[in-house]
Amino acid sequence: MTPDRPTATPDDVVGALRGRLVVSCQAREGEPLHGPAHMTAMALSALDGGAAGLRLEGPADVAAVRAVTGVPIIGLWKVGAAPVYITPTMDAVHAVADAGADIVAVDGTGRPRPDGSTFADVVRAVHGIPGRLVMADVATLAQGRAAEAAGADLVGSTLSGYTGPGRPPAGPDLTLVGELAAALSVPVVAEGRIATAEQAAEALLRGATTVVVGGAITRPASITARFAAALDSARTALVAQEGAR
Ligand SMILES: CC(=O)N[C@H](C=O)[C@@H](O)[C@H](O)[C@H](O)COP(=O)(O)O
């Protein structure tokens, strides 16, 4: 915990995020921006732009950013190659909490966790630390209901499109966001493939308590790729026009 925010309660944390933007700053190993120094710079840039909270991956990044800001942090740790990879073990849960995350995000799909722990075990452990909350990353409405019943403090649409065969669809699942918001009592987090400011605003209008945007803000390589692909298409169109003359 940073000294400037020693008494943040769960209500403070959710209150600070209500109606506001959370920016997810994540870079995988091997990417140029991987590592706590780059992710801290990215997080501070997001805060300069008006983000109210941050979503960070790995205890090292959580601890580095915790040291420089008191805003709410959603922490997770992607570990292993099993289907459940978002904070998949109790060790990972404790590491993320110990690093200073206010909200520990974990897979909330109900699929088997690699260490045999249950979602209820996670809730018990996190609630044992004063002021800490659990966010369930789910893919469906049924999973959201089950996570709430098992004690999740927040439920996010994070994993929609990522648990079945094939590639995820292009856009965000705002239908699921609306369904979760209508059915659950706990705050709903809209997350996953939100690519425009308009989609972020729409998520709020559909009942999300807060909106997490990642790659559209913090992944320069994929942002660049979209522009480069658009120019590739334009070049192809120009060549076709010239060929038709
Ligand atoms: C599915 C999964 O593992 N999602 C991860 C969860 O932390 C991150 O890779 C995403 O970047 C994050 O959810 C934000 O989403 P987007 O980058 O689409 O705005």
The pLDDT value given to residue 133: 97
Read off the pLDDT of residues 83-117 as tens digits, 9 standing for 90 and up.
Answer: 999 999 999 999 999 999 999 999 999 999 999 99
Ligand 1 geometric centre to CA of 212 (Å): 9
Give the three-state DSSP class for 53.
strand
Atom of ligand 1 nearest to the CA of 156: 13
Enumerate helices (H) and strands (E) in the chain, giving the number of each: 10, 8
Name the one residue in this structure whose structure tokens are 């790729």.
Answer: 225
d(CA 173, CA 192): 8
Close Cβ partners of 166 (under 8 Å, ≥ 6 residues apart):
none
Its ipTM equals: 0.99
Tokens coding 79? 């570990």
pLDDT at 69 over 60: yes
CA of 15 to the centre of ligand 1 (A): 23
pLDDT tens digit sequence for 170-195: 999 999 999 999 999 999 999 999 99
Query: How far does residue 230's CA lie from ligand 1's centre (Å)?
Result: 23
Q: How far is CA 176 from CA 143, 155, 159, 209, 214, in A?
A: 11, 11, 11, 14, 18
Q: Which atom of ligand 1 is nearest to the CA of 86?
A: 3
The structural domains of the chain, ordered by start, are: 10-244 (3.20.20.70)
CA 28 to ligand 1 centroid distance, Å: 11
Q: Measured between alpha carbons, how far is 237 from 234 in angstroms, rounded to an integer? A: 5
The atom number, within ligand 1, closest to the CA of 194 reads 19
pLDDT of residue 64: 98
pLDDT > 50? residue 42: yes
DSSP tag of 184: -
CB of 174 within 8 A of CB of 203? yes
- Interval 210-226 mean pLDDT: 98
**Ligand 1 centroid to 64 CA: how many Å?**
20
d(C-alpha 118, C-alpha 25), whole Å: 27
**C-alpha to C-alpha distance for 185 and 187, rounded to whole angstroms:** 7
Average pLDDT score over the chain: 96
Ligand 1 neighbours, Cβ below 6 Å, are 24, 26, 76, 158-159, 162, 191-194, 212-216
Nearest-atom number in ligand 1 for the CA of 219 is 17
Nearest protein Cα to ligand 1, atom 15? 192
Q: What is the pLDDT of residue 139?
A: 98
Mutate to test the pocket of ligand 1, among 154, 158, 223 (most ligand atoms within 8 A of CB): 158
Minimum CA distance residue for ligand 1 atom 9: 26
